Amino acid sequence: MTSSTALLTDRYELTMLDAALADGTAQRECVFEVFARRLPLGRRYGVLAGTGRLLELIERFRFGDAELEWLREEKVVSDATLDWLADYRFTGTITGYREGEVYFPGSPVLSVEAPFGEGVLLETLVLSVLNFDSAVATAASRMVHAALGRPIAEMGSRRANEDAAVAATRAAYIAGFEASSNLEAGRRWGLPTMGTAAHAFTLLHESEEEAFRSQVAAMGTGTTLLVDTFDVEKGIETAIAVAGTGLGGIRLDSGDLPRLVAKARAQLDRLGATDTKITVTNDLDEFTIAALSASPVDAFGVGTSVVTGSGAPAAGMVYKLVAHKDDAGEWVSVAKKSDGKATVGGRKAPIRHLDAAGIATAEVVHVLTQRPPREEGRELLVTLMQDGEADASYLGHSGVAAARAHRAKAIEELPEEAFKLGADEPVLPTIYV
């Protein structure tokens, strides 16, 4: 992990800055907005994740000697712009949805208010964080609901870039996963970690029994033994013979899971191991988890599917200029008119309408002219960063815990139709007024 995040960006962010400094528009106060035009794969809601991580990255968005020298050698911008970058730090204000909040197409999940030169430089960083983390969190949330209260562990580090794996673990935890195999995620974000042994450990030993005895000796009878290296039925028999009926759990990582799980549960019960749990970890996603809803599975482990967003590796968010001050100091709303990519200009105040039972009915986005509206509903925007200083409550271990708790509350507001796995329209309409 680099100390500076300033070059985690696209070249055109700096060339736009270079031109704006030259023509005098770089200091114009602007409002940039982040939203998704649509949800991926017909999903009915999204889960915002990455906000706390983003705030920390913005605080490290500084151009040191190494970054400036490389830009000079590559002739990316003028010398005058290099001098400006040497003193750069973000001094603006960022508002947005709380991390863990659910969102819909058009939801203004993040708003950056700053001079153009400061705000434009953050576009790539903002999108790279929110697009990936929100894609993972949205997929993970669907899996959590499909699991019907049974715990899910994230095990996808080997299926992602090493830095992305840590970010994915954090996003999955915010969305309701219970633990991860990734130790760096545990250290950096205060997440529970888990793990016992892989097939290699069994194959290392002269027999499955020898491997099980070694693991139990090291970890105690509460451990989980991987029983499908050779033959599942024999593996379970050996596991109970070694650890006794107090064995914590067995893990199945291959085969026809509904059939295997049913047979394994019946065998464990016959052997007297009625409290021994069954964990399954074989290429799971929200659909296979849902298919196992009637099976006696106690816990799930998900790898590839969660760290790749279960087929939607990016949330489709964009970062657009929606307002700026003119030469007279008056705010002017601006918007794209491009076919299929039109935007809505102006500052916005989103409010989630709820019925008498506390269930969400609509996402109402007020385009502001002067002051925020006063109406019933839940206001969605909070201040995340003021004058370049991040609100500490959204950072670090406590920020992750707060985001996880907020996601659980936000999910409770959604109507039951939100949790259908089949492709459908967003469960709430987004209404601009």
Determine the Cα–Cα distance for residues 173 and 133; give it in Å rounded to an integer.
Answer: 11
Residues 176, 179, 182, 185, Cα dihedral to 10°: 60
β-bridge partners, 367: 348
Question: Which helix H or strand E contains 215, and what residues bound it?
Answer: helix 208-219
DSSP state of 292: T
Give me the amino acid identity at 363: E
Name residue, tokens 């379970």: 236
The mean per-residue pLDDT over the stretch 24-28 comes to 96
The mean per-residue pLDDT over the stretch 206-215 comes to 98
* CA–CA distances in Å: residue 219 to residues 84, 191, 198, 407: 57, 21, 14, 34
Task: Catalogue all structural domains in the chain, each as residue range(s) with its CATH number.
Answer: 11-136+312-432 (3.20.140.10), 148-310 (3.20.20.70)
pTM confidence score: 0.95
The mean per-residue pLDDT over the stretch 52-70 comes to 97
Structure confidence by residue, pLDDT tens digits, 150-186: 999 999 999 999 999 999 999 999 999 999 999 999 9
Q: Helix and strand tally (H, E) in the chain?
A: 15, 19
DSSP state of 193: B
β-bridge partners, 229: none
What does residue 227 show for φ and ψ, rounded to 5 degrees?
Answer: -110, 10
Structure confidence by residue, pLDDT tens digits, 98-108: 999 999 999 99
Residue 117 has pLDDT above 90, yes or no: yes
Q: In the numeric block, which tokens belong to residue 280? A: 């399954």
Residue 280's nearest CA partner among 263, 261, 294, 267 is 261
